[in-house]
Copies of this chain bind each other. A is one copy, B any other.
Amino acid sequence: MEPVTEATDLLALDRQVCFALSIASRSVIGLYRPLLQPFGLTHPQYLVMLALWQHEPLSVKELGELLQLDPGTLSPLLKRLEALGYVHRERNSKDERALAVTLTPAGRQLRAEAEKIPPAIVARLGMDLDELQDLHAALMRLIASARRDA
């Protein structure tokens, strides 16, 4: 019988994809922090802004589908974005249950500044663009696999 060594141990920390994923996610978000701080944004708030710049107006439900976040997370987050002056929240007149989240002029203006962020991150990572694109594709496949049966 094979002994339990680093190489064969199913539970070895450095073999867990979930461990690499959590740390990678937190590490990369950490790179964004100093770039987002001047705008008063956190990383999840930045993702909401990306979604709005691309698809405004959006309801909470639509944002939740795009970002895979549940309404209990988005609801207070959107209030903070409103308090920052970047978005406007109002009920959809066609369906008073739904919220119509739109950008304020300040929120729209922020987009030009934000264009500088992705290149700055790529530069700071100092990785091959090809490798980053492969990684991105692999992550999207992983997401699809993980959510298929969920």
| Residues of chain A at the chain B interface (Cβ within 8 Å) | 9-13, 15-32, 43-44, 47, 50-51, 53-54, 66-68, 111, 114-115, 118-119, 121, 124-127, 131-132, 134-136, 138-143, 145-150
Contact = CB atoms under 8 A, between A and B. Distances in A.
A135 B136 contact: no
27 contacts: A10-B119, A11-B53, A11-B115, A12-B54, A13-B47, A13-B50, A16-B118, A17-B132, A17-B139, A18-B29, A21-B24, A21-B28, A21-B139, A22-B43, A23-B67, A24-B143, A26-B68, A27-B68, A27-B142, A27-B150, A28-B146, A31-B146, A124-B149, A127-B141, A134-B138, A135-B139, A138-B138
Contact of A11 (B27, B118, B131, B141): B118
Give 7 closest A-B pairs by Cβ, nearest first.
Answer: A27-B146, A20-B139, A25-B25, A21-B25, A24-B139, A125-B145, A135-B138
B24 A146 contact: yes
Nearest to A147: B27
A12 B32 CA distance: 16
Chain A interface mostly: helix
Contact of A30 (B119, B135, B146): B146
A54 to B, nearest CB: 6
A91 B147 CA distance: 43
